[in-house]
């Protein structure tokens, strides 16, 4: 019961910035009117190597927030991201995928490498990032995605966005997709039309 209460509270809080996503243009996923931008960052990837915004310059990339011990939403989100990775590789779309852990103390590079391997990540395209404090990733999430990251009291949960965010080659956050959506047909269609 407690788990479902946490999920419902998370959904309530994560929808709190919904107004920003109403600003859009040519698609239901378009959030370019929100003027969200990815700040500069340099963290550590699953191979223990420095990885930052500069490594993504000139690329479209899909970002998400996860943690490896997540008992609720991440076991749905990460396989959904993996299917999008495979779909875009099959389409020949040159884009990257980034998963930021919201539990950097637990999620070391070694833990993230094992997690990524288990979910079928192609590390040529997909990086799992750590090497920061939870406060730092909370600040990044708030600035780039208008979404909060915070511990849930008396729980192993960490509240975080359940969306996937498309960042353009200039670092603008231009699309928001439902990371829990099992039918990804429309997401793939939008990615196909947007990523060039």
Q: Do residues 24 and 31 make contact, with C-beta atoms less than 8 angstroms apart?
A: yes
- The DSSP line for 111-150 is HHHHHHHHTT--TTTEEEEB-S-HHHHHHHHHHHHS---E
Distance between CA atoms of 122 and 180, rounded to whole angstroms?
21
CB count within 10 Å of CB 42 equals 13
Helix, strand, coil tally for the chain in percent (to 5) = 40, 20, 40
Residues whose CB falls within 8 Å of the CB of residue 195, separated by 6 or more in sequence, listed in order: 60, 88, 93, 94, 95, 166
Burial class (CB in 10 A: 0-12, 13-18, 19+), 165: buried
Orientation angle between helical segments 74-91 and 185-194, nearest 10 degrees? 50
Residue 160 in marked binding region: yes
Give the position of tokens 């698609």. 27
Residue 17 in marked binding region: no
Q: Detail the residues annotated as belonging to a binding site for Cu cation.
A: 70, 74, 160
Q: Detail the residues annotated as belonging to a binding site.
A: 70, 74, 160
């Amino acid at each position: 019961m407690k788990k479902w209460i946490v999920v419902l509270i998370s959904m309530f809080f994560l929808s709190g910035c919904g107004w920003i996503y109403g600003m859009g243009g040519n698609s239901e996923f378009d959030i370019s009117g929100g003027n969200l931008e990815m700040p500069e960052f340099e963290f550590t990837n699953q191979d223990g190597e420095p990885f930052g915004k500069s490594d993504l310059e000139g690329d479209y990339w899909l970002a998400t927030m996860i943690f490896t011990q997540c008992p609720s939403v991440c076991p749905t989100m990460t396989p959904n991201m993996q299917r999008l990775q495979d779909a875009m590789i099959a389409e020949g779309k040159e884009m990257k995928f980034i998963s930021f852990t919201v539990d950097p103390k637990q999620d070391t590079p070694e833990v993230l490498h094992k997690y990524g391997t288990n979910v079928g990540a192609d590390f040529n395209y997909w990086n799992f990032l750590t090497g920061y404090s939870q406060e730092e990733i909370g600040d990044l999430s708030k600035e780039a995605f208008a979404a909060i990251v915070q511990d849930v009291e008396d729980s192993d949960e960490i509240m975080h966005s359940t969306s996937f965010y498309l960042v353009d080659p200039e670092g603008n956050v231009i699309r928001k997709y439902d990371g829990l959506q099992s039918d990804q047909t429309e997401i793939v269609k939008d990615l196909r039309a947007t990523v060039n």
